[in-house]
């Protein structure tokens, strides 16, 4: 009998899982949000926001299965039944949840937040619609003054893209060393050195209130500084998003084979930005990068095929995919995840290569202009753990 698998989400992880399962002869139904064109989210800032691409040019190829555009509202873990926006219900032999993440927004205590959002002068930068909103606002003022609230990779990369495009950009970050929690302090300090000659940076500060005027937005920081722009972009990272009953901010915890720990033995898997991993003996973490989400989608598919008796055991999922971003003419590259509790070891100062270790085990790499070194070092990641599997 052919097994049927439901896949929720057609981004990096969902598309990879679909391709792998479809190629193995499994019947797949792939769900996207109602009215959504599955797209490559990495192009929201690099393509659409800066006017290089129209949203349809960032569309993803369909992976061999025509998606069902009907948002999954809820999952019944017991029966593996999904309830759809249209009111329909479908039951599956297995499910892969690949619903990704949503952008964190500014706290609601920030006075004036909702008015700034309503007028389009305050936006996140996550969906294609966000990209179009930024593009259209930039087109009204050339050069535009853009405030970027956040210090992670999307904030840094967007500051660099907009500066290169001739806009007057300011970065506002809560941390004194933006990005340190995501990529470790050594690489984050180097990034800061790259930003500072290029544009204003208000560090160690956060927004206290926002005032929207007919032609601009003014953000008042917690030290009283007032910064004005045509547009303010919030890039405060992401939180996982999943259908009920797992809509909370904690995402979907998974085991070493990406099986959902919320529903053990129910053949429900999670991959990509929604999945929460547990490295042996250490803290939980998520990896919200494109190539790693793709790798997780493929791994979840293999684990599922294994559990259905159709494939070999893919063994423990260990993150080794690389990610890279261009920032002010330099390439920040990394692999793995520097989870809480990692120590850092600088292997090379110039170009910078930092190894993040849990005890003696290298679990992540970050480097600047160190693409070759990172690739040379990749086989060392998790090596001892992999040998014990
Ligand atoms: C502006 C920006 C730039 C980025 N640049 C980079 C980069 O340069 N390099 C990099 O590695 N990463 C980058 N990322 C991160 C990368 O895009 C994500 O890590 C990746 O998209 C995660 O893949 P995913 O499959 O988990 O989620 P997504 O790609 O977000 O896909 C999830 C899909 O599921 C759909 N969905 C959600 N809920 C439901 C539901 N209930 N029913 C049906 N469908 C649903 C969503 O609408 C979405 O289409 C960037 C992110 C942003 C926002």
Q: What is the pLDDT of residues 162-188, one digit of tens each?
A: 999 999 999 999 999 999 988 999 999
Write out the H or E segment, with its range, that includes residue 138: helix 128-140
Q: Could you tell me which CATH class the domain 322-388 is placed in?
A: alpha beta
Reply yes or no on domain 111-236 having CATH 3.40.50.10490. Answer: no
pLDDT of amino acid 62: 80
How confident is the model over 299-319, as pLDDT tens digits?
999 999 999 999 999 999 999
Best mutation site among 8, 10, 11 for ligand 1 pocket (most ligand atoms within 8 Å of CB): 11
The label of the residue with tokens 């005032």 reads 211
pLDDT of amino acid 141: 86
Strand arrangement of the beta sheet that strand 226-229 belongs to: 207-212, 217-221, 226-229
pLDDT of amino acid 3: 85
Query: What residues does ligand 1 touch, defined as CB less than 6 Å away?
Result: 8-14, 31-33, 36, 38, 41-42, 44-45, 71-72, 98-100, 125-126, 154, 241, 243, 272-273, 288-291, 293, 323, 325
The label of the residue with tokens 């003996």 reads 281
pLDDT of amino acid 342: 87
pLDDT of amino acid 339: 78
161: closest CA among 323, 366, 325, 334? 325
253: closest CA among 1, 108, 242? 242
pLDDT of amino acid 387: 62
Q: Could you tell me which CATH class the domain 4-102+239-307 is placed in?
A: alpha beta
Give yes or no on whether 4-102+239-307 and 111-236 have one common fold. Answer: yes
Do the Cβ atoms of 99 and 105 come closer than 8 Å? Answer: no
**Percent above pLDDT 90 for the chain:** 90
Domain ranges across the chain: 4-102+239-307, 111-236, 322-388
pLDDT of amino acid 388: 60
For the beta carbon of residue 194, count every other beta carbon within 10 angstroms: 16
Residue 341 binned pLDDT confidence (cut-offs 50, 70, 90) = confident
Write out the H or E segment, with its range, that includes residue 349: strand 343-349
**Percent above pLDDT 70 for the chain:** 98
CA dihedral 382, 182, 132, 134 (to 10 degrees): -160
pLDDT of amino acid 386: 60
């Amino acid at each position: 009998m052919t097994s049927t698998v439901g896949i929720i989400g057609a981004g990096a992880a969902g598309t990879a899982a679909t391709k792998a399962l479809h190629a193995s002869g499994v019947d797949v139904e792939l769900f996207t949000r109602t009215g959504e064109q599955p797209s490559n989210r990495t192009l929201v800032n690099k393509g659409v926001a800066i006017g290089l691409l129209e949203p349809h040019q960032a569309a993803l190829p369909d992976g061999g299965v025509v998606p069902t555009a009907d948002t999954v509202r809820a999952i019944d873990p017991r029966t593996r039944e999904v309830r759809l926006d249209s009111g329909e219900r479908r039951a599956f032999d297995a499910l892969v949840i690949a619903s990704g993440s949503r952008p964190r927004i500014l706290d609601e205590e920030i006075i004036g937040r909702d008015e700034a959002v309503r007028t389009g002068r305050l936006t996140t930068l996550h969906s294609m619609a966000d990209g179009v909103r930024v593009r259209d606002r930039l087109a009204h003022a050339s050069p535009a003054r853009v405030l970027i609230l956040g210090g992670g990779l999307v904030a840094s990369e967007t500051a660099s893209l907009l500066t290169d495009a001739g806009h007057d950009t300011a970065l506002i970050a809560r941390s004194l060393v933006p990005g340190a929690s995501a990529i470790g302090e050594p690489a984050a300090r180097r990034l800061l050195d790259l930003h500072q000659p290029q544009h204003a940076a208000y560090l160690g500060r956060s927004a206290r209130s926002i005032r929207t005027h007919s032609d601009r937005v003014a953000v008042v920081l917690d030290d009283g500084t007032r910064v004005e722009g045509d547009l303010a972009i919030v890039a405060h990272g992401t939180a996982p998003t999943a259908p009920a009953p797992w809509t909370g901010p904690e995402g979907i915890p998974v085991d070493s084979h990406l099986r959902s720990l919320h529903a053990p033995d129910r053949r429900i898997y999670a991959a990509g930005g929604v999945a929460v991993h547990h490295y042996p003996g250490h803290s939980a973490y998520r990896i919200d990068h494109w190539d790693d989400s793709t790798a997780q989608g493929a791994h979840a598919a293999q684990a599922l095929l294994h559990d259905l008796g159709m494939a070999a055991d893919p063994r423990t999922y260990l993150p080794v995919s690389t990610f890279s971003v261009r920032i002010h003419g330099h390439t920040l590259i990394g692999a793995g995840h520097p989870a809480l509790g990692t120590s850092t070891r600088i292997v090379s100062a110039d170009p910078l290569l930092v190894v993040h270790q849990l005890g003696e085990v290298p679990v992540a790499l970050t480097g600047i202009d160190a693409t070759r070194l990172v690739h040379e070092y990749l086989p060392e990641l998790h090596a001892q753990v992999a040998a014990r599997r």
